[in-house]
Amino acid sequence: QVQLQESGPGLVKPSETLSLTCTVSGVSITDFYWSWVRQPPGKGLEWIGYAFYSGSTSYNPSLKSRVTISHDTSRNQFSLRLTSVTAADTALYFCARAIRNWDYFFDFWGQGALVTVSS
Amino acid sequence: QSVLTQPPSVSAAPGQTVTISCSGSDSNFGNNFVSWYQQLPGTAPKLLINSNDRRPSGIPDRFSASKSGTSATLGITGLQTGDEADYFCGSWDTRLHTWVFGGGTRLTVL
């Protein structure tokens, strides 16, 4: 059974860096692509990006200059780093497994971590 | 404004059938597959449909979907109160080089 769990600070100050970790169980992170998706309060879903453990990445162009997704294969975790945050980055952040072959979709999701950007 | 266009809300009575539309363009639906996600209140999204019309294991056959050209449709038959949720379509956009979601459709089962 594949399970994902987000963790990290729930409050980040403006201009600082948001950091979240997703711990994966039930499957090795080296076998799949892994993504982050966020959802501002009361709004829709926004794709942040995906990464493969080998270093292959793809980021939403609107966030690309501020985003890094990385992996820790020894802990079976992957992480999100978003720099220079503003109130507009306040959202529920989900980690998800991305199936990328001849198709592309997200088949397993974490429960989400709420991050508020406020001083 | 979302790249993929969905109606903000739909409603129907228990036992009835409802359809949710999702309109895209050549750069997303025209070249790539569509997937659909159900987000029950206070929970994470859940994959309902992948590859335009395929149900993952465990998804009831009350849920179905199709794609034609640059439009996609999700259908739900035999509506239950437990189907009340937000439904999102999504696809890769080749021109924008990004994954795009629809704005979401809130289903109310009256």
Residue of chain B nearest A46, judged by CA positions: B101
CB contact under 8 A, B43 and A46: no
- pLDDT by residue (tens digit) across B34-74? 999 999 999 999 999 999 999 999 999 999 999 999 999 99
Q: What percent of chain A has pLDDT over 70?
A: 100
pLDDT band at A100 (very low <50, low <70, confident <90, very high): confident
Contacts of B104 in chain A (CB under 8 A): 44-45
Angstroms from A75 CA to nearest CA on chain B:
23
- pLDDT by residue (tens digit) across B66-89? 999 999 999 999 999 999 999 999
Dihedral angle sign, alpha carbons of residues A84, A87, A89, A90: positive
Q: Write a three-state SS string for B5-27.
A: ECCCEEEECCCCCEEEEEECCCC
Query: Cα dihedral angle (A38, B37, B78, B43), rounded to 10 degrees?
Result: -30
What mean pLDDT, rounded, does chain A reach? 95
* Residue-level pLDDT at B1: 77
CB contact under 8 A, B50 and A103: yes
Greater confidence (B2 vs B84) lies with B84
- pLDDT by residue (tens digit) across A9-54? 999 999 999 999 999 999 999 999 999 999 999 999 999 999 998 8
Dihedral angle sign, alpha carbons of residues A114, A61, B49, A103: negative
Neighbours of B94 (CB within 10 A): 13
CB contact under 8 A, A103 and B103: no
Angstroms from B62 CA to nearest CA on chain A:
19
Report how far residue A45's alpha carbon sits from residue A61's, in angstroms, rounded to the nearest whole number: 15
CB contact under 8 A, B90 and A99: no
Q: Which residues contact A21 (CB under 8 A, 6 or more apart)?
A: A6, A7, A8, A77, A78, A79, A80
Of residues B18, B30, B28, B27, the one with CA closest to residue B68 = B30
Of residues A27, A30, A20, A3, the one with CA closest to residue A108 = A3
CB contact under 8 A, A105 and B50: yes
pLDDT at A90 > cutoff 90: yes
* Residue-level pLDDT at A54: 85
pLDDT band at B21 (very low <50, low <70, confident <90, very high): very high
| Tokens (6 digits) for B26 | 């050549």
Query: Cα dihedral angle (B11, A42, B1, B55), rounded to 10 degrees?
Result: -60
* Residue-level pLDDT at B65: 98
- pLDDT by residue (tens digit) across A73-87? 999 999 999 999 999
